[in-house]
């Protein structure tokens, strides 16, 4: 436990030193406030920039609060996930290249404590950033569009948070096996993108994929129904356990390579 606390403090110091505590929340807040603004002012933007003939009438149905929040989560699923992967791509692979991992793991420190500290801090930073961005989207939507249903918004946000936590485990597992930080970022990002695309093409047959957490969160906001994520949550837990085992195997079998 003492080793975990020391490593946890080290990871917080590293997150502060690299400004992750500033720029990652800023990315999510920016994404969160952009979608409500677009939903509100898109008709005016089209009218002013469309170069349409005189008398042309553009009729766009008014956006509903739940739809706007769902679109915001979709933005988080692309640009937000990319930002997360880039932010934490070097949390393990970078330390392997620099020799920091070798210096730590030759001490009486378990690989489990080493990885747990990294995952705990990265998850706290990511979910904190997500919460700030989601809250900003909720507030902006309430001001410009209408007040979203708080219960559905919280349920959808909780489901989406589980998806983000799984992506962080995937980044950690990739970093345990690949020395290049770019590989630790883009392999999980590519896998997450493929899972989301597969789920969107066959939503009924592939709803149990871990990406179903994100898809159901978006769908529940748009339909104003409670998210049905039991199957996707179970699959995500199993996938997370497998990725943790894979990461532990990588750290144990290749701990001292640079």
- Write the pLDDT tens digit of every residue in 193-212: 999 888 888 777 777 889 88
Decide: 122 and 88 in contact? Cβ < 8 Å: yes
| pLDDT of res. 32 | 92
Residue 43 has pLDDT above 90, yes or no: no
**Global pTM value:** 0.88
Mean of all residue pLDDT scores within the chain: 85
Residue 54 has pLDDT above 90, yes or no: no
- Provide the percentage of residues in the chain whose pLDDT is more than 70: 90
Q: How far apart are CA 220 and CA 155, in angstroms?
A: 9
| pLDDT of res. 166 | 94
pLDDT digits (tens, 9 = 90+) for 3-25: 788 888 888 988 889 899 999 99
Q: How far apart are CA 251 and CA 177, in angstroms?
A: 8
Q: How confident is the model at residue 114 (pLDDT cuts 50, 70, 90)?
A: confident
54: left (phi over 0), alpha (psi -120 to 50) or beta: beta
Residue 48 has pLDDT above 70, yes or no: no
Helices 150-177 and 181-201: crossing angle in degrees, nearest 10, is: 140
pLDDT digits (tens, 9 = 90+) for 136-189: 999 999 998 888 888 889 999 999 999 999 999 999 999 888 888 888 889 999
State how far the alpha carbon of 14 is from the alpha carbons of 11, 21, 88, in Å.
Answer: 5, 10, 11
| pLDDT of res. 57 | 60
98 vs 120, more confident = 120
Q: How far apart are CA 64 and CA 74, in angstroms?
A: 15
Which of 91-95, 125-129, 214-218 has the highest average model confidence (pLDDT)?
A: 125-129
């Amino acid at each position: 436990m003492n080793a975990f606390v020391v490593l946890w403090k080290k990871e917080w110091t590293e997150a502060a030193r690299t400004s992750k505590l500033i720029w990652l929340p800023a990315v999510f807040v920016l994404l969160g406030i952009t979608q409500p603004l677009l939903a509100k002012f898109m008709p005016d933007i089209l009218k002013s920039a469309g170069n349409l003939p005189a008398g042309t009438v553009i009729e766009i149905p008014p956006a509903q609060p739940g739809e706007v929040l769902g679109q915001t989560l979709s933005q988080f699923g692309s640009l937000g996930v990319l930002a997360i992967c880039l932010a934490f791509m070097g949390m393990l692979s970078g330390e392997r290249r620099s020799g920091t991992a070798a210096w730590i793991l030759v001490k009486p420190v378990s690989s489990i404590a080493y990885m747990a500290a990294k995952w705990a801090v990265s998850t706290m930073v990511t979910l904190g950033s997500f919460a700030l961005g989601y809250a900003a989207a909720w507030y902006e939507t309430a001001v410009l569009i209408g007040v979203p249903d708080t219960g559905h918004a919280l349920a959808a946000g909780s489901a989406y948070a589980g998806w983000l936590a799984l992506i962080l485990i995937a980044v950690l597992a990739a970093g345990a096996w690949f020395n290049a930080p770019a590989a630790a970022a883009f392999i999980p990002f590519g896998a997450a993108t493929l899972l989301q695309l597969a789920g969107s093409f066959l939503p009924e047959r592939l709803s149990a994929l871990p990406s179903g957490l994100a898809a159901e969160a978006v769908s529940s906001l748009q339909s104003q129904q409670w998210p049905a994520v039991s199957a996707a949550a179970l699959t995500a837990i199993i996938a997370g356990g497998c990725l943790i085992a894979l990461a532990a195997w990588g750290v144990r079998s290749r701990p001292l390579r640079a």
